[in-house]
Every structure is written in C-alpha cells, then in structure tokens.
Amino acid sequence: MVTARTKEVDELIGLEFGADDYIKKPFSPKVLVSRVKALLKRPQRIEENTIDKGDLSLNTVNRTLTKNGKIVAITSVQFNILQILMMNPGKVFERYNLIDGLHNNGDIPDIFDRTMDSHIKNIRKMIEDNPRRPQYILTVRGVGYKFNENF
C-alpha cells in the first residue's frame, strides 16, 4: 500500500485489512523497488476463492453471494462490507473502520456513519431469515458490527 496517510492508526488499519506492506509518501523509489523484490521472494500462498459461513458463500473472484446455493443480487459496496465482516468473524468493526475498508478496496462511495447502518440493514434483508433477529451480522451496541463467529 502506498499512501499519503502517515498516522500510525492509518498504517495499522491498512495492515489489518490485508496490506502486505505500508509505504508512506514521500518515499524513495529505491526503497520501493527493494520492498517489492522482498515481497516477490516470499512463497506464494494459495488464496481461498470462497468464504463459507453457514448457508452463505461469498466468492471473492467472481464477486458473487449465494445463500442456500441461490445467487443473491448484491451491490459492490454491500459485497465489500460483507467480505470485510466475513473474513473477520467475531471481530467488532466500528462504522468508520468499515468505511475505511471500503476506501482501501477501491470503492470511494459517499458513506457516512448512518449510511453504513442502511447498508447493513439492506445486507441483512438479503442474508438473514429474519432481519429483525439477525444471526449473521450482529450489532454491538455503541460500537459497530461483527459477523457471528459461531458460523
């Protein structure tokens, strides 16, 4: 990740969301080339293409969501929110962490704290048997959301 964000918290969030490295601008081109070479020397890991939790399956390659084997229509932003949550079951995300995660994924939507609540509500309508009593995406009052670690 190459970024102008220089605060420690930004670096921690970037690394938490899966960046292999975090390079702050301005940077030395020689250092960048050296870091890229170091990354290329690492053994390649085989990434799983799907995240399966309960009767949900999220395919990260073709960006599809299925529930009970049936494809569920989902927007790009909703997919990315669900992916962040499903990849980190049990981890509580504050709204701003989810918003930052969307920015790191390349989505630059106009999302604010309460807009995130609307996205979560819409995702619940798609994946929950009873959205009023969610089993997958749980609210942590006063903090944010988490994906149920029991799946």
Kindly state whether residues 72 and 131 are assigned to the same domain: yes
What mean pLDDT, rounded, does the chain reach? 87
Q: In angstroms, how far is the first alpha carbon of the chain from the final one?
A: 31
- Residue type for position 3: T
Of 8-12, 44-48, 67-71, 147-151, the one with minimum mean pLDDT is 44-48
Quick one: how far is CA 131 from the chain centroid? 21
Q: Which structural domain, as residue segments, surrounds residue 28?
A: 2-41
My answer on whether 31 and 86 are in the same domain is no
My answer on whether 22 and 96 are in the same domain is no
Are residue 69 and residue 99 in the same domain, yes or no? yes
Number of structural domains the chain divides into = 2
Q: How many residues does the chain have?
A: 151
Specify whether 143 is located in the same domain as 88: yes
57 neighbors 51 (Cβ within 8 angstroms): yes
Burial profile 115-125: b = 16 or more Cβ within 10 angstroms, e = fewer? ebeebbeebbe
Same domain, 132 and 88: yes
pLDDT digits (tens, 9 = 90+) for 40-94: 887 765 556 899 999 999 999 899 999 999 999 999 999 999 999 999 999 999 9
SS3 19: coil
Instruction: Indicate whether 55 and 125 sit together in one domain.
Output: yes
Higher pLDDT: 143 or 114? It is 143
What is the pLDDT averaged over residues 24-32? 89
Please tell me the number of Cα atoms within 13 Å of 46 on its side-chain side: 0
> pLDDT by residue (tens digit) across 32-46?
898 888 888 877 655
Residue 77 and residue 102 in contact, taking contact as beta carbons nearer than 8 Å: yes
Same domain, residue pair 8 and 64: no
Confidence of residue 2 (pLDDT cuts 50, 70, 90): confident
Q: State whether 134 and 63 are in the same domain.
A: yes
